[in-house]
Amino acid sequence: MASATTTKGATGRNTLNAILFYVFLVIFVLVSMFPLIWIFKMSIITKTELFASPPTLLPANPTGADYAQIFADTAFQKALLNSTIISSATTVICLFFGSIAAYAIARLKFRFRNTVMTLILALSFFPAVAIIAPLFVQFSQVGLIDTYWSVIITDTVFALPLTIWLLVAFFRELPVDLEDAARVDGATTIQAFQKVIVPLAAPGVFTTAILTFIFAWNEFLFANTFLFDENTQPVTVVIPNFATIYTVDYGAQAAAAVVVTVPLVIMVLIFQRRIVSGLTAGAVKG
């Protein structure tokens, strides 16, 4: 009888814990998603409702006028293309140099290897604002201001440490025997790296590519400092331009923010399993 009572009590506690967990999870998701939901709501309401006090919780008269406005704006269309070019170039450069550096660190044995890894990671925490003025002077002298390369170079510098750090973990998990077998078959070190290591580390490379692309897509400081021409400005710089001296078009800014964010969200949702497997690939050693 006592055993049955104890079992029933344990079951009740487990049920209560499960309910509390899911309640906490729902609250956490709602709090996390609330800013995005509110931005989306701002993008589909009228100007009158936007400035209503107190604000409405749900849209009274949904409209797509702000989306029509931003997609008709040639500057915003060009900014989307600029962001794609800058982010893609940064990602490709980081993966190329980062994979080579990470492979060398993961496979070669040399002194101060851990120190090198620590310094690489420390670079990603370096305050970008501390070097913005010297970089502006140098880029002005070599004619890089108002060019894609001014932002691609700086984005690469700050994204490359994270790229190397992530890829080192994936390369370390791959057995060295695979490379030795490739060398026995006549492959060089570079061929073994290209044809054996990189394909096997695809989840890690893919994860790193996505994180690097998102970093470059969201970057604002360098783009706002080095790019003054609308022909080279990315969306992060163009979105605040939906304003005049006297007014700010919050609806258009909200619609532009949604358009810029949604592709990243869709990409992460589609490849979420590969991203998770990539992020956890080097976490456990068997």
Structure tokens at 267: 């990409």
pTM exceeds 0.95? no
Residue 61 lies in a domain: no
Block means of pLDDT (10 residues each) for the chain, 286 residues, are 57 77 88 86 84 79 85 88 93 91 81 78 80 90 91 91 84 76 75 78 82 90 89 89 73 87 80 65 49
Residue 76 lies in a domain: yes
So what's the pLDDT on residue 29? Answer: 84
Q: How many domains does the chain have?
A: 2
Same domain, 212 and 143: yes
Nearest-angstrom CA–CA distance, 198 and 192: 9
Q: What DSSP character marks residue 231?
A: T
Same domain, 109 and 211: yes
Structure tokens at 108: 């070669």
So what's the pLDDT on residue 149? Answer: 92
Question: Which phi-psi region, left, alpha or beta, contains residue 52 (left: φ > 0; alpha: ψ -120 to 50)?
Answer: beta
So what's the pLDDT on residue 286? Answer: 43
Same domain, 82 and 37: no
Same domain, 6 and 146: no
- The closest of 224, 238, 79, 211 to 150, measured between CA atoms, is 224
Same domain, 32 and 103: no
Structure tokens at 46: 């009228």
Same domain, 264 and 130: yes
The CA–CA distances, whole Å, from 246 to 236, 249, 281 equal 21, 10, 52
| Domain that includes residue 31, residue range | 2-43
